[in-house]
Structure 1
Amino acid sequence: MLIYDIPEVKRENKTTDIVKRTGVLSANNIHLTNYPGKPAAIFNPGLLIEGDTLTVYARMVTGYYMHPYSSAIVEFKIPVDDLDEVPRKRYEGKLIIIPDTEYDMWGVEDPRATIVNGEKVLVYCGLTKRYYTEELFRNLPVAAVYRDGSWKKIGAFKVKGAKVVGDKDAFLAEMNGLKMFQRPTIRENGTTKDLCVISEVPEDIFETSEPREIETYNGIVPIDKEKFEYKIGWGTPPLKVGKDEYLLILHAADMDAVYKAFAVLMNSNGKITAVTPHYIMEPREIYEKYGDRPHVVFPTGIARLDDEILIAYGAADSFIGIGKIDFSEIMSILDSNRVY
């Protein structure tokens, strides 16, 4: 049973783009050290900042020989000093997560990276063994934790008691306990809805020897699409910006299927406290407008660098974009449209 706790917010169908593009990475920038093939595309990256280094976890494909094509996750590191020069750099990467369980056998997609209990955690969309043959649970959030020098898959997450067609745009975050942010497509009373949900998860999810199914429960729906949008979804994990305030970037697909981005502030209980009154980013550069999926900016990674917010995003399902947002500017915009 989901609880709807959606405040009255004001968002307009217009864009004031405040993201400074600082660089773009293509598959040509990555050399794989543990796989003989060459990547065809890298996009939709998770991001962690560790000292003076950015660790990037990107969705990668080696070719487009079937639909859906099978994705894996590649890890590579970018020195912070490289940020303004990444298109001219080349980085060594390695495959760290590949399709190899019943929960992701047709592909692993769109990883988000967070720190949970001091450990690195990735949550990605796994295309399950049911993807081609059944109507429900075709794709699910799958989590992996980094331990003893390697990534260990812990299981796939299902919304308790719901008929879920698929579930994506997910990550784990510590906010008043451990929460799963997920965006299930739920079938109910003859209709199908895409919902942004924040759920509770069992405390023992990391205590497992094999991947298993894990139920999420007590889900809250804190925000919904506007009438001018086809759907919205979680983008970046939460970035703490105050004593009890977190910044998140979400994506939205409009009625023409153009993907844009807006921002919200949220407290530790999952309540929206502010929202940008308009989109803060939309496809602008040629690599955002043209690719395997045209007209897409898809923020998935976030970090704080002094007085700037760094975002990593997928561009047209083909490239990784890096952008910067002035911290004072985005907070001022959010302050102008507070809910509480």
Structure 2
Amino acid sequence: MKIKRYLEKKAEQFLNGRRSIRDNKTKNIFDKRYYIFPENIIVKNYHKKPIAVFNPGALLKDDKLKVFPRLIFDYYKYTSSVGCFEVEIGRILKGILDKNFETKIILYPEFLWEFLGIEDPRVIENNEEILMLYTGKGYVDFNKKRRDVLSFAKLDKDFKIKRKDYFKISDRNEFFLPETIKDSAFLDFKEGNVSLLTRIQLKDKFFCWRGIANINKLTIDPESLHPVFAMEEWETKVGWSTNTIKLSNDEYLVGWHAVMKNDLSYKNGFAIVNGKGELLGISDYLLYPEGLTENYGDRAFVIFGNGLVKYEDYIIWIGGISDYGIGIFITTLKDIMENIRII
């Protein structure tokens, strides 16, 4: 396929000409860390109890933090859905969390391309609608080859689904679906198009890209896709971790993650990009798992995704801990910016 060869060549050229932009240094700047476990989640519209709640998206609305966890109810097929519950932001900042959170499933598998689960939501609000990017894990064209597709859901304020489909990389002549395209976030909306951050698997290489998508057709222009940054020599892969936060007219804050070669742990940092997704600055590792609660779970050594919100000067990262629970990690924008290296 022409699109596949075009992107593989672009990736190869980028990797051959890249330079190191980060150091293998860790500095955990999130002093406040709170947790929500499966036993704290009461699902109101399904008869089973979740055995894992993790990798949540998040949206701050009127001092209410809406949390969108990935829910697992059995380990046999490990099929995920996405729920929603609310927490008062003021109580979080005081370290006060309820014992139970009433949760409603709002997305569950309905199509073949999400047959194996709906995973890792990234959520924003646009024109009073809730827009969600997520990983649809399933099959395309009945070919029995499992894929991760970049999926999109549009919901109203009551979480009624208005649209649900997935993106294709497409020009006028063909479309291309990588084996994996995920870990994505919206940036700037302009006249039916949106700039976005994404991660594409090409020849077993996983790293960060930017591009432009048509939000109506759910297509990504292949010529708009450009690599942003790749794994360092001590990493196996990198990806975008969170939704973006607009800091100024043309500056966005976004989380990213990397997997370490030495122990396969996930570590996280921050990047500043402009509205096109071009890299302006980047940190080393500023958030990583510590202690028994964060390190030990169904997949050890992980803090992953997916929610990032700003409240006053606080930056709150709402992520999964080792594929079983939710971590709420609090720092300040000042502390983040002091650790950003200008590119």
Give TM-score, length-normalised by structure 1. 0.88
Cα distance, 1:131 vs. partner? 11
Counterpart in 2 of 1:102? 112
CA RMSD of aligned residues (A): 2.3
Counterpart in 1 of 2:3? none
> Aligned partners of 2:301 and 2:75: how far apart in 1?
19
> Aligned partners of 1:120 and 1:285: how far apart in 2?
35
Residue of 25, 38, 52 corresponding to 2:49: 38
Counterpart in 1 of 2:188? 174
- More moved, 13-22 vs 51-60: 13-22
Counterpart in 2 of 1:140? 149
Distance 1:242 1:7, change over 3 A: farther
Q: Secondary structure at the match of 1:201?
A: strand
CA contact (8 A) 2:57 2:305 kept: no
**By percentage of residues, which structure has more helix?**
2
Q: Secondary structure at the match of 1:81?
A: helix
Q: How does 1:260-271 map to 2 (within 5 A)?
A: 260-271=267-278
Cα distance, 1:280 vs. partner? 0.5
Cα distance, 1:22 vs. partner? 3.1
Are 2:338 and 1:338 equivalent residues in the alignment? Answer: no
> Aligned partners of 1:251 and 1:79: how far apart in 2?
27
CA contact (8 A) 2:186 2:244 kept: no
Counterpart in 1 of 2:280? 273
CA contact (8 A) 1:184 1:194 kept: yes
Residue of 305, 311, 320 corresponding to 1:314: 320
Distance 1:241 1:81, change over 3 A: same
Counterpart in 2 of 1:209? none
CA contact (8 A) 1:7 1:222 kept: no
> Aligned partners of 2:208 and 2:126: how far apart in 1?
21
Distance 1:163 1:148, change over 3 A: closer
Counterpart in 2 of 1:112? 122
Distance 1:279 1:131, change over 3 A: farther
> Aligned partners of 1:85 and 1:124: how far apart in 2?
29
Number of residue pairs the alignment of both structures matches = 322
Cα distance, 1:148 vs. partner? 7.0
Residue of 222, 225, 235 corresponding to 1:229: 235
AA in 2 matched with 1:318: Y
Q: How does 1:131-280 map to 2 (within 5 A)?
A: 134-135=144-145, 138-147=147-156, 149=158, 150-160=160-170, 162=176, 164-174=178-188, 177-186=193-202, 191-205=203-217, 214-217=219-222, 218-255=224-261, 256-276=263-283, 278-280=284-286
Residue of 86, 89, 103 corresponding to 1:80: 89
> Aligned partners of 2:342 and 2:214: how far apart in 1?
32
- More moved, 314-323 vs 160-169: 160-169
Counterpart in 2 of 1:208? none
Cα distance, 1:40 vs. partner? 0.7
> Aligned partners of 2:46 and 2:132: how far apart in 1?
21
Q: Secondary structure at the match of 2:237?
A: strand
Q: Percent identity?
A: 27
Give TM-score, length-normalised by structure 2. 0.87
Counterpart in 2 of 1:23? 34
Distance 1:287 1:152, change over 3 A: farther
Counterpart in 1 of 2:62? 51
Counterpart in 1 of 2:135? 125
Cα distance, 1:157 vs. partner? 1.3
